[in-house]
Structure 1
Amino acid sequence: MADEKCLREIVAGISSGLAFLDAGGLILCHNPAFAKLQPQGLPVKGLALVDLVHPESRADLAGLIAATQRGEVDNGRIELRCGTPEDGYHWYRFALNASAVSSPATVLVTTFDIHSRKIQVDDLILRENRWRDALVNSGTGVWDQNYATGVMYYSDTWKAIRGLAPDEKSADGFESWLLLLHPEDRDFVVEAIQRQNSGDPNYAMFQYRERHKDGHWVWIECRGAAVEWDRDGKPTRVIGTDTDITQRKAAEEMLAQLSRRLELALSISDIGVFEADLETDMVDWDDRLLEMFCMEGTPNLKPGQIWESLLHPEDAATALACVADHLDGENEFRNDYRVVLGNGKVRHIESRNKAFRDANGKRRLVGANWDVTGDVILRRELERAKTLAEARNRELEMAKARIEHNALHDYLTGLPNRRYLDEVLDARAEECRRSGSTMVIFHIDLDRFKQINDTLGHRAGDTMLQHAANVLKSNLRSQDFVARIGGDEFVLLTDMGGTQRKLASLADRIIKELCKPVLYDGHTIRFGASIGIASDGGAELNAKQLLLNADIALYRAKNLGRNRHEFFSRDLQNQIIHNKRLADEILYALEQDQFVPFYQPQFCARTLDVTGVETLVRWLHPEKGILTPDKFLSVAEDLDVVSMIDALVLEKAHAHHQLWMAKKLPVPKISVNVSARRLNDPALTKKLRGMKIKPGTVSFELLESIFLDTCDTGVVQNLARLRKLGIDIEIDDFGTGHASIVSLLRISPTTLKIDRELIKLIPTSAEQRKMVGSIIEIGRSLNIKVVAEGVETRDHVRILSELGCDILQGWALARPMAFEAIEPFLISEAWRADEHPVHEMLGKIRRAGKG
């Protein structure tokens, strides 16, 4: 019992709080120090420990208690606030341990009062932030040169003093930096640095000139000191600050000039002294005073009378009255006046005077006179210079305002520029995060603007940009913000509430206004706009990401036909991410040579002889297997690599065809697809000539959509060169409604391929059969062979043969296959086998023809 009592007294006297928790986290027992966690001395026994801490931290404490009870945490520690909003909160550190003297679920809690330390740490952080902010705002640049580690740090302000951007590198090495110093300062700076590093207090601060990035000299005041040394006492780290004192130096020079003037004026301003006996009216002047009044050498001189006669008429009454007013007193007084000398010159005199009684009780007056004519003239010049300086300062302020405005605004439209937009984005995002409001971004891109520049010139384009800016400003509220961020792109920021319908209405109104025709120099100009819209708000708002989202939505709007708006969505973002990943894979596939040709044989509709093969590109994807063009072609077009893929496939197909010819396999020719961009390549003919293609063995398949009636002249010229090389021209997917008979006559293809969509329904549609028959007749009349693709059934073969089609291609005869499968297929002649359904159908057609 004595030991237990002693133990209780010891525990009660411990300054740290001690308590035991049961399995449910309730307080079983505690010492007096632990009871301080509960304000106003209320009991804590039986309470849950988590109820004593700040509500925001209860979940963390509960998790730590549970982990300690499970034995997952040994000596767990956490810093929490205890108390109430009314009584205030107090900081404690909690240490939790599984009790070794009771059941495993019991937890020993120890609390330590850390409130004072916490307040001190917060105060130190606040002070550090204050000094850091003060240093940045003072315009002082910080440098830190660690010779031991080789790390040289220069703050953004240090770089700005020298005209460098924050991410721009400073001079490379000490010798390179010395070349930037003024030639008169280099030797001094080298010595000053050595003395500063050695701790010489006379060199703790020194000044020198350094060349600014723009070319002018900047005066810099350098303060620094070594803070770390090696064992030999050699400095290994020096820290300091640089201050731009160029303006101060200029001011000092101006003051020095003024000081030199004043010193010169004082050196020539001799003082003349006089003393007068007021009872006898006798006055004594010294030689300098006589010289001042041009009286030296004058006999029988009575200075008192002469002085009054020399006073300037405008100053005489005032000067005499000043003297008379002070004769009865004994206070010092000042008297300023002008005198007119015998030579007619006017001088300004300043006098200091005092009346007094001498030892004999006589009233006397003593004074000192300065010829301040030079000072007066100098003062007038200074006043004039001050007035001029003030006027120049006003001009500089106005110029500064103009420069700042120009730096933040687009010179053409007067709208804020990208830099201004970034500042406003950050400010409004912060406001939205604080208030919980929503930010909406419209990313606007003018449609067909490039054509205006190309056809009517840049002046017309500039006028349209100004017109677009006016349209945008006229459709916005005063609190909205619109900026031109470059080219024909604009960004609108708004906090307009409401549904997407309201935002869509604003976007449609802007597009409608921008689509209206504009008269310029006798021309009616029309253009439109595509708009991407993104909105977000709350504490997690990221303005830069929101701008990117609007750009993604704009990209979607332009791809869907322009002159429209699109809202950003997660599905859209996922599609963009998918396309980006696919684009990267396509570029990698080009590097790894993963695009290969597959071949689908083509057959004579009358004899079923192989007339050639169509070359089809396939992507041997390492993970997804063989991919057809519909899985990657649109992204490849965006990457502008379709012509590269076409070129690779052509080279491989040509090499394969030469192998087939060497083995005398029945593959008379190969046809390959070619993109419009590759067809416009001026070097195409030269590249093909280098392949030494045998005439009549290669045919280029061109989409019908390439050959509109407005077909480019360059394309037609390239086609003519292809024919000279012996390369045939085929029109693919004919019948989709793009090309006219005139286009066919102009291009003169050797073959037309009827689009599979037209072939598909001929077994069930008489109208489709009639249309296909007409196309075949057109081809026959123009001496153009006709290929039917999409031949998938017996009925297709029969009907097309009856209609007089020349060549058949489709799964009913052969599927696309890899190079390795072509030779076995041709040798087996599986399509001629008796059991092949097409063979049976062809026999019926032949018998019907003989009958």
Structure 2
Amino acid sequence: MNVFIVEDSALVREQLTRLVEAKERFRVVGWAGEEERAVSAILAQRPDVVLLDIALSPGSGVNVLRRIRAAGSGARVLVMTHSADQALRDACEAIGISGHCDKGGDLHACFEQMEAWLPPVPENEAQRLAALESTGLLDTPEDEAFDSLARVARNLTGAPIALISLIDHSRQWFLSHLGLPERETSRSMAFCAHAILQTGLMEVPDALEDERFRDNPLVQGNPRLRYYAGVPLVLDSGEALGTLCVLDTVPRRLDEAQRDAIKTLARSVVGEIELRRRVLTLEQEIERRHAAEARIMHLATRDPLTGLPNRTVLRDRLEHEVHQAARRGGTVAAMFIDLDRFKLVNDTLGHDVGDEFLMVVAHRLSSTLREADTVARLGGDEFAAILPDMHSDAEALLVAHKLLRALAEPFTIGKHRLRIDASIGIACYPHEGDSAEVLLRHADLAMYQSKQGGGNRATHFTAQMETLAVAALALDRDLDQAIERRELVLEFQPQGVPGGREVAGWEALVRWNHPKLGRLMPDRFIPLAEERGWIHRIGRHVIDSTLAQIATWDRAGTRIPRIAVNLSPSELRAGLADEIDALVYSHGLTPDRLALEITETAIVGDGAEVAYALTRLSQKGYSIEVDDFGAGYSSLGQLRHLPLETLKIDKSLIDDVHHSKIDTALVGAVIDMARALGMRTVAEGVELPEQERVLARLGCDSYQGYLLGKPMPAARVPDWLAQRSAAGPVQAG
């Protein structure tokens, strides 16, 4: 029910508004505080009820009432006054009001009266409104199909007004409105809101004689209705949506033939509505299918996170651009773009931040390149771009540098200040590839070269890259079979005590005797093994071979101190300690014969899992050593929380220790702090006697390097020990 408030007191007006809108089916559609505005607003908005303050200033509440009645408004008016003046009340009733409200008293009776004017609500109202919505007929344009049915009803009955109404939540809306200019009215004044509760035709011969409609605004005001006859429009599923009705301004009755005719016409209206409903359902189903197909196509061609084209689209577009360039004699550039250290962002800040990071990358790449260029996401942190109509290969390199600058601009995600570095590889048609497939492969190889060069750079493809790639592929294939072919062998390098003759320990180093390439150092194949997931198998092979060699020496009477083997960061997982235990005891040895070396990067990586694996190994009696200390990003503060026994000082700090005061101070500081934490130190890469003397003076526990001995095959170890023993006393440690 639409309520208009005429009240000059802001306080009273606010209280009334709050009380009215607390009612579920009421709403305030406007207010006025003086006569002129009240009259114009009421006539324009045509409310169901007016709450009228008689003591209005400026102006007069009585004048408002008189003027709206003279203009044809039939709105129900409840007069609000403090006055008990009967003459004033009689004057208002003579003009036309629906009741009085005492402003100083309880307004409960006033609201009860307003609620009594509301038409009843069907029991299935929610279901009925849903069915009405499903027809899609509300607020549609004029429709001749419905107008023609209403016209027949008007002609058959002789009534001046014929309507096809739909009863919405708070209004009645007309599919057809012959003889009535309005397209809708409030539901609270709708005769049809009562008719939808009937099972058949509802006829009101004289509205002034019917309690339900006597003071209805459409009866008391324009169009001053007196007669109504309506048949509910009931769907096959049982919901009454509205009515087909005829209305007149004089009392009357339909004869039996007219009643039958209007019922028949109502069934025709329902049939038309059902048809429209089925057509709409079919159209919606078609739309859903089209949307689903579009969604499937989008998923098939677009990256779901960034919305960029995917690998399939990239390949198709590149093939098209290559074809066009071949016809025009032009140049097309293909770029592979790989983000540097993105995994660190994902692992430390979480996948939500990582996803936002990738969306920033997508936006910056797209906004930096031309509209004719294509940017695609290939997956993970890999992107690609196609640049048609390049004037030269050099221009493509300039664009790549522009992309690097755009990506490098810092940005904020949440509370994190971040920047993006990337490695870009470029291959241009026709000089660096004559097909889409070749261009993409060559751009990928060039990107890998940028990555190998430290990242944050762009590199053009060269023929040498493909040669190296072919060699790497062959290496990959051969490494998979290297263990079975017994091509992985061990060499052992001794560790001594600075200024002394003792042998403090040994390190086992793996080599690959490749049948074609000769002896390969670990840096040629260990990264490949980690990338391919073979490092676990190789690591177990190295440990098992080392333990077997220790047992062989023991049986031969050659007592070897503890031997250290290297562990890859990817091996530091739960279950490692039990695996190594099984190998040690299978050779009849004990954990004190084996030391395990890890790198600094392993320590600063996955902290919790690494700490657990190292703790388990230490508890079982294995010595844990940190290799290449000083080359990474850890600190002794980090190391003190882990069960570490030895620090191996990186060769980069030892190289100039004999003539650089800074390096001497650095190495001395590492030795002192390690000793304070209860750790031993081993200096790596010692090649000169001068270096050994400095290390002895600084108190380094042991050293390793060519000065003492190069890595040697197992067969040479006994002879080396014998020679060293002959030169002076040897302690096996």
1:433 counterpart = 2:320: no
Cα deviation 1:273-331 (Å, max 9, x = unaligned): xxxxxxxxxxxxxxxxxxxxxxxxxxxxxxxxxxxxxxxxxxxxxxxxxxxxxxxxxxx
1:702 maps to 598
- Ranked by relative contact order (alpha carbons within 8 Å, sequence separation 6 or more), the top structure is 2
Contact 1:416 1:483 in 2 (8 A): yes
- CA displacement at 1:682 relative to structure 2: 0.8
1:670 maps to 563
From the CA coordinates, give the structure whose radius of gyration is larger: 1
1:822 maps to 717
Tell me, what secondary structure is at the counterpart of 2:559?
Answer: coil
Equivalent runs, 1:321-336 vs 2, <5 Å = none
2:637 maps to 742
- CA displacement at 1:535 relative to structure 2: 0.8
- CA displacement at 1:676 relative to structure 2: 1.7
Distance 1:505 1:638 in 2: 32
1:403 counterpart = 2:293: yes
2:197 maps to none
| CA gap 1:487/1:778 in 2 versus in 1, 3 angstroms | closer
1:657 counterpart = 2:564: no
Tell me, what secondary structure is at the counterpart of 2:648?
Answer: strand
- CA displacement at 1:574 relative to structure 2: 2.4
2:607 maps to 712
Equivalent runs, 1:542-561 vs 2, <5 Å = 542-561=435-454
2:487 maps to 594
Distance 2:706 2:399 in 1: 52
Tell me, what secondary structure is at the counterpart of 1:723?
Answer: helix
- CA displacement at 1:507 relative to structure 2: 2.5
2:576 maps to 684
TM-score for the superposition, normalised by structure 1 = 0.47
Equivalent runs, 1:280-319 vs 2, <5 Å = none
TM-score for the superposition, normalised by structure 2 = 0.54
1:473 maps to 366
Distance 1:575 1:404 in 2: 43
Equivalent runs, 1:720-735 vs 2, <5 Å = 720-735=615-630
Contact 2:488 2:510 in 1 (8 A): yes
| CA gap 1:597/1:459 in 2 versus in 1, 3 angstroms | closer
Distance 1:752 1:539 in 2: 48
2:478 maps to 585
| CA gap 1:762/1:515 in 2 versus in 1, 3 angstroms | closer
Q: What amino acid is the match of 2:581?
A: R
| CA gap 1:450/1:742 in 2 versus in 1, 3 angstroms | closer
Distance 2:432 2:700 in 1: 68
Distance 2:379 2:602 in 1: 33
Equivalent runs, 1:25-64 vs 2, <5 Å = none
- CA displacement at 1:414 relative to structure 2: 4.4
Q: What amino acid is the match of 2:576?
A: L
Q: What amino acid is the match of 2:574?
A: P
Q: What amino acid is the match of 1:719?
A: L
Corresponding pairs, count: 463
Q: What amino acid is the match of 1:549?
A: H
1:645 counterpart = 2:535: no
Tell me, what secondary structure is at the counterpart of 2:442?
Answer: helix
Tell me, what secondary structure is at the counterpart of 1:632?
Answer: helix
Distance 2:630 2:344 in 1: 31
Query: Which consecutive unaligned segments of at least 5 residues does structure 2 have?
Result: 1-256, 259-270
Distance 2:281 2:461 in 1: 54
Contact 1:433 1:539 in 2 (8 A): no
- CA displacement at 1:452 relative to structure 2: 6.1
Distance 1:483 1:421 in 2: 6
Q: What amino acid is the match of 1:667?
A: I
Distance 1:638 1:441 in 2: 25
Contact 1:433 1:540 in 2 (8 A): no
Distance 1:426 1:535 in 2: 13
Distance 1:591 1:626 in 2: 17
Task: Provide the alpha-carbon RMSD of the alignment.
Answer: 4.4
| CA gap 1:806/1:472 in 2 versus in 1, 3 angstroms | closer
1:121 maps to none
Distance 1:435 1:548 in 2: 24
- CA displacement at 1:694 relative to structure 2: 1.2
Tell me, what secondary structure is at the counterpart of 1:596?
Answer: strand
Cα deviation 1:184-227 (Å, max 9, x = unaligned): xxxxxxxxxxxxxxxxxxxxxxxxxxxxxxxxxxxxxxxxxxxx
Distance 1:405 1:451 in 2: 33
- CA displacement at 1:516 relative to structure 2: 4.1
1:812 counterpart = 2:707: yes
| CA gap 1:771/1:502 in 2 versus in 1, 3 angstroms | same
Cα deviation 1:222-262 (Å, max 9, x = unaligned): xxxxxxxxxxxxxxxxxxxxxxxxxxxxxxxxxxxxxxxxx
- CA displacement at 1:562 relative to structure 2: 4.0
2:133 maps to none
Distance 1:597 1:468 in 2: 46
Identity %: 33
Q: What amino acid is the match of 2:526?
A: L
Q: What amino acid is the match of 2:706?
A: W
- CA displacement at 1:751 relative to structure 2: 2.6
1:87 maps to none
- CA displacement at 1:722 relative to structure 2: 1.6
2:403 maps to 510
Distance 1:389 1:675 in 2: 67
Equivalent runs, 1:741-760 vs 2, <5 Å = 741-760=636-655
Cα deviation 1:616-641 (Å, max 9, x = unaligned): 11112223433322333333343343
- CA displacement at 1:589 relative to structure 2: 0.8
Q: What amino acid is the match of 2:369?
A: L
Distance 1:525 1:760 in 2: 36
| CA gap 1:782/1:500 in 2 versus in 1, 3 angstroms | same
| 1:532 alignment partner, one of 415, 425, 438 | 425
Query: Which consecutive unaligned segments of at least 5 residues does structure 1 have?
Result: 1-342, 345-380, 843-851
